[in-house]
Amino acid sequence: MRHKLVIGNWKMNGSRAANTALLSGIVAGLNDFGADCAVCVPAPYLAQCQAELAGTPVRWGGQDLSVHACGAYTGEVSAAMLLDFGASYVLCGHSERRAYHHESDELVAQKTVAALAAGLRPVVCVGESLAQREAGQTEDVICAQLRAVLEVIAAEDVAKMVLAYEPVWAIGTGQTATPQIAQDAHRFLRNCLADKNAAAAATVQILYGGSMKPENAKELMAQPDIDGGLIGGAALKATDFLGIIQAV
């Protein structure tokens, strides 16, 4: 039985004061909901998460990492730096990184390798654009994105990753994938994982992301291959984030 996991992706939002209010609201409202919970925050706020979340059930992580260990890479953040601040997770290949920072499938795969090598849990994000869905290319696109990662990681590392299916047309648009559309993609991705490591594929948490809210979370989470959510907008309000966790 896979445990449910809900991760908040704050994107480029937050301030120290707002973060304290949000984090304390989440911690105060967390009951024994039976779901794991984490927030992926802008790098400057990792120290704040470490200070304010240590000893709570809420984990934290980064939104990106460098493929390099250290050196002359201005602006980049290494896996070791994330770990230095107690991070457990790191997003790899979020569609906004792919779109605005031209991250290729190969680069995302290398970032996943760097995260795994450091002992961070990579949350590998895949998803098709609206044009790709309309052209009937969804499975080809998400398969290629995932396969690039599976080609370069060891079979035994499959179990250490988290996968997130985030259709680009659903991110921040208010247009959520139907539970059936999401389930079909999740099942397809799990089959792709199984090509690499069948036993591990059954254990990998596959999260849905794209306009998930308290109102639609329950139906999505009820699908057999949806193991949680990667939440953007609704992760910025404690009541919404908690509402999604509660829907599990």
For ligand PGA, the binding residues (CB under 6 A) are: 9, 166, 171-172, 209-212, 230-234
Cβ contact 91:63 at 8 Å? yes
Residue number, 120 or 229, with CB nearest to ligand PGA: 229
Q: Is 166 in the active site?
A: yes
Shortest approach of ligand PGA to residue 170 CB, angstroms? 6
Shortest approach of ligand PGA to residue 207 CB, angstroms? 9
Cβ contact 24:52 at 8 Å? yes
Closest residue to bound ligand PGA by CB: 232
Q: Pick from 65, 75, 70: which is nearest to 114 by CA?
A: 65
Q: Pick from 49, 48, 28, 47: which is nearest to 38 by CA?
A: 49
Return the ∠ at Cα 247 (arms to 242 and 248), rounded to 5°: 105
Q: Is the dihedral of CA 182, 126, 42, 52 positive or negative?
A: positive
Residue number, 20 or 173, with CB nearest to ligand PGA: 173
Shortest approach of ligand PGA to residue 50 CB, angstroms? 22
Give the whole-angstrom CA distance, residue 96 versus residue 154.
27
Residue number, 152 or 236, with CB nearest to ligand PGA: 236
Instruction: Extract the tokens encoding 114.
Output: 């760097």
Residue number, 8 or 113, with CB nearest to ligand PGA: 8
Cβ contact 214:244 at 8 Å? yes
CB contact set of 60 (below 8 Å; sequence gap of 6+): 38, 39, 40, 41, 46, 49, 50, 53, 86, 87, 88, 89
Shortest approach of ligand PGA to residue 20 CB, angstroms? 22
> Which of 96, 103, 166, 186 is an active site residue?
166
Give the whole-angstrom CA distance, residue 27 versus residue 23.
6
Residue number, 183 or 211, with CB nearest to ligand PGA: 211
Q: Is 156 in the active site?
A: no
Shortest approach of ligand PGA to residue 231 CB, angstroms? 5
Catalytic residues: 94, 166
